[in-house]
Amino acid sequence: LFACRKRLNASREVDPVELPNCQLIKGIERGSEDIDILPNGLAFISSGLKYPGMHSFVPDKPGEIFLMDLNEENPRAVELRISRGFDLASFSPHGMSTYVDEDDSVYLFVVNHPHQKSTVEVFKFSEDDNSLVHLKTVRHDLLSSVNDIVAVGPDSFYATNDHYFFDFILIFLEMFLGLTWSNVVYYSPQEVKEVAAGFYSANGINMSPDGKYIYVADIFDHNVHVMEKHANWNLTHVKTLQLDTLLDNLSIDPHTGDIWTGCHPNGMKLIYYSPENLPASEVLRIQNILSEKPTVTRVYADNGSVLQGSSVAAVYEGKLLIGTVFHRALYCKL
């Protein structure tokens, strides 16, 4: 029990760090779990995640994908239309990743949990009419409890399984006992394989701008693993950066290589949601992670009065988007 409380940071309270130019994004009321920004400033936002044991303000409404153009003076979130034939009723979007092909086609990979299962949905983005064309659904036995993905091709990706089990009771038991059974899987139509293992709960995943390294956040071990990517898609461990918070999704600044992450200062408050004891939010910026002494900066922190349960932070040309598991989303000018 003591070890479980330690993994959840159950006794930590957050000291506030305010940003002066922030506003809540209109229209996003029930989560913005992951955010991925294209090089041209178009930001995709997943909303409406329904996950075993996790709070939801509107559990019966299907999930949505929003789009924001961060080049606009006052950007607004617009819901993207999804092509016919896709099962919207059971859509429960989680982690996301974009891939821009050589012909500038934009593919959006979305982790989905229809009917308490795990799939990866592959869409093609049509900017002309702000819509997503559903191309295919990826299912595989190794993709059993997918949390996040990073696309490495138009039909290939790395994915994290955050638990060995997907049933809520077994997940709780796995977490309580501290089993390190979660992993990272590489998927392509030609090959599917485990490429890293031994995590308490592999969560956010992303890739360095030069494509040489894969970063994996272990949310219950409070750290980021740096993995070297090889030609055969295997990963080898390079280093681990230990922190004092529960790291969720990882975003990469394509110009600097900095890692931005939305974090949960106290995981107990997130899992056991109470309006009288709100889950806090925290944003970290990690600079020069490959160096001997990376610089870690707390950019934003809130006790839940503004933003509850931050899960992602992504930047574009001096603008910051902060998303949450089941609450609102924040737009800030840095």
Residue from 134, 42, 157, 31 nearest 92 by CA = 31
Q: Quote the CA–CA distance of 62 and 151 in Å, as a whole number.
A: 24
Catalytic choice (94, 113, 222, 264)? 94
147 is in an annotated binding site: yes
Q: Are 258 and 313 in contact (CB under 8 A)?
A: no
Q: Quote the CA–CA distance of 55 and 279 in Å, as a whole number.
A: 11
129 is in an annotated binding site: no
103 is in an annotated binding site: no
34 is in an annotated binding site: yes
Angle in degrees, CA 92, 217, 280, rounded to 5: 70
130 is in an annotated binding site: no
Q: Where are the alpha helices (DSSP H) in the chain?
A: 2-7, 168-177, 267-271
94 flagged as catalytic: yes
Binding site members: 33-34, 147-148, 203, 248-249
Which residues are the active-site residues? 94
Binding site members for Ca(2+): 33-34, 147-148, 203, 248-249
